[in-house]
Amino acid sequence: MTNEQIVAYGTLVMALLAVASVVVAFVVYRRQCNAQVFLEYTKRYGEIMNTFPPASRRGRLDLFAEPAPDTEELTLAVLRYLIWTYCFPSGRYSRN
């Protein structure tokens, strides 16, 4: 095997390693972005759920309790929740 052949094979191997590293970097970047979106998604969910009045939160845990009174605060919280669920469809960012 001559020096030219060794250099040619070495160049080929290095090119394949470079392509593989770019592919791996892309996959890692994509997963990191998905994780960041998921964290923001859950943070917003927590913020929206905290805007519900305490009386309506108690009603979620007790099936036999009377529904919370219809207040403007409850209406705004429900609207925030509905807008949030419309803007972030479930399953879109949770893959891999």
Greatest Cα pair distance, the chain, in angstroms, is 87
pLDDT at 92: 53
Mean pLDDT per 10-residue segment, the chain (96 residues): 89 95 96 89 88 81 80 89 76 50
What secondary structure does DSSP assign to 11-60, as a single string? HHHHHHHHHHHHHHHHHHHHHHHHHHHHHHHHHHHHHHHHTS-HHHHHHH
Do 93 and 37 form a contact (C-beta atoms < 8 A)?
yes
Q: Which two tokens stand for residue 38?
A: 């998921």
pLDDT at 17: 96
Q: Could you give the angle at which helices 72-87 and 3-50 cross, rounded to 10 degrees?
A: 160
